[in-house]
């Protein structure tokens, strides 16, 4: 069995640098459910998506350690890829529920609910420098952040979802959704080594999350 995997970078900055790697298997039904966790661990991306029905947007999302009901950079990246490989979609349907999608020339947007996100230990620090110098945790799911410019809504952050099998995540869309759910305002998040996420409330308790995506390569796993 050969498995075609599209490798993407989701949430790169305006210069195209950084971004969180994502693996997407468009022919997800070719991969037995029992094999998906093992394959996600073998690929080693922070998340791997299996598309079960491109027309309806049905997807499954796996970290190297667990399956997730929802995640941010996998839904943004998968929506972007489907628009280029198949057709634009109005929504994706991970296990958590329906995720509306919309497209702009440079950005892909998804809408999700904060209650769908994993439980992060959010820690607000005093400065962006404190975020830069934060020591690597050894357990848990920590997300540290600080205002770069509170009036402008710009944030510096780092994410350490060790319970998901990820030491440090370059760009964490689910945490952005949860953070906006708490702050109740639009923010531009600068995470990791140069990723940029934009998120804001929709007014009905949900949060819209957007960013750029670029293609890296297509590879084949031979089973």
Would you please indicate which residues are annotated as catalytic (active-site) residues? Answer: 47
CA distance 94 to 99: 8
CA distance 210 to 208: 7
Q: Would you state the structure tokens that stand for residue 107, as one six-digit string?
A: 């950005």
Strands (DSSP E) found in 93-164: 99-103, 108-112, 121-124, 141-149, 154-161
The helix, strand and coil proportions of the chain, stated in percent and rounded to the nearest 5, come to 20, 40, 35
For 98, the 3-state DSSP assignment is coil
Q: What is the DSSP letter of 120?
A: -
Q: Which residues contact 134 (CB under 8 A, 6 or more apart)?
A: 125, 144, 158
Q: What are phi and psi of 205, to 5 degrees?
A: 90, -10
CA distances from 193 to 10, 80, 98 (A): 13, 22, 31
């Amino acid at each position: 069995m050969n498995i075609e995997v599209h490798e993407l970078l989701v949430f790169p900055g305006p210069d195209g640098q950084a971004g969180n790697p994502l693996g997407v298997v468009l022919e997800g039904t070719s991969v037995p459910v029992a094999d998906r966790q093992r394959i996600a661990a073998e690929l080693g991306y922070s998340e791997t998506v299996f598309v079960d029905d491109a027309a309806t947007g049905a997807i499954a999302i796996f970290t190297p350690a667990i399956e997730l009901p929802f995640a941010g950079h996998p839904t943004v990246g998968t929506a972007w890829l489907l628009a280029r490989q198949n057709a634009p979609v109005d929504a994706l349907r991970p296990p958590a529920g329906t995720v509306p999608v919309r497209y702009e020339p440079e950005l892909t947007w998804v809408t999700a609910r904060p209650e769908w996100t994993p439980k992060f230990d959010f820690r607000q620090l005093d400065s962006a420098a404190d975020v830069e110098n934060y020591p690597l945790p050894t357990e848990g799911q920590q997300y540290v952040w600080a205002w770069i410019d509170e009036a402008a809504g710009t944030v510096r952050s780092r994410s350490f979802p060790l319970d998901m099998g990820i030491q440090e995540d370059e760009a964490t869309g689910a945490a952005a959704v949860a953070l906006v759910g708490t702050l109740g305002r639009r923010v531009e998040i600068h995470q990791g080594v140069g990723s940029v996420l934009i998120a804001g409330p929709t007014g009905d308790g949900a949060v819209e999350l957007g960013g750029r995506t670029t293609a890296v390569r297509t590879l084949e796993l031979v089973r």
